[in-house]
Structure 1
Amino acid sequence: MGVTFLNSSDGIETVKDKLYIQQALAQYYLPIPKTMLAENSINVDYIEEGIGFPIVVKTLNGTHGCGFFAETRRNFEQLVEKIDLVDIGLNMILQEFVKTSFGRNIRVIVIGGRVVVSMKDKQ
């Protein structure tokens, strides 16, 4: 097809998986919110103890800030009930809500192991 890729296939796969990205960032001691993977059965007590509420709920894959905010345990339980109703077997990333971020994050584009651009993003 004549298309040249600068990044490796491993690098491309890494950025598609939000949990893997969190693990990669933690490996370099970068500050990240507490994060959990929620699969099939969800133990809300365990989540409340490990992360607490409010909580940010995201799909495992995807971009552009698609996700949910559950301010309370009850909000989260209602969200889980709705997901269970459609029975789509959705794996979710659960993250600590960082109030001081005010919906901001930093996006960094790396090509060939070098940072080529970074930007602040506001949800």
Structure 2
Amino acid sequence: MEPRVSFITLGVTDLARSLVYYRDILGLQPRSVKESVVFFELGQVWLALYPHDLLAEDAGVPDDGGGFRGITLAHNVRSPEEVDQLLATGAQGGGRLVKAGHKAFWGGYTGYFADPDGHLWEVAWNPHFPHV
């Protein structure tokens, strides 16, 4: 396997609501909007929104979606102030603040918000990682 991720697909319970959230609240511009899938280009990785029940069916797993899903998405920014700004933005339009921005044990500044389906996004300023 080559060291690359090509798509991140989030199972969502309301595709229209999620499109509005990611487009109008987070400011991502969709590259393709179909009846059952939305695609956003994120540099060299694509973000796809797909109905939760259909994604579970495609993967052959139960559609219970309960509890922590064992994954977070991360977005690095240029400053601690940008962390707080993006956390506030992410908490709008059906999203919610999960963990306010704070100094992290590893020397950066980080916090979390959840999209309308509960997918966790970490927003971080990391002085030790290549900047955006």
Same fold by TM-score, threshold 0.5 exceeded? no
Name whichever structure is richer in strand by fraction. 2
TM-score (norm 2): 0.22
TM-score (norm 1): 0.23
Name whichever structure is richer in helix by fraction. 1
Of structures 1 and 2, the larger Rg is shown by 1
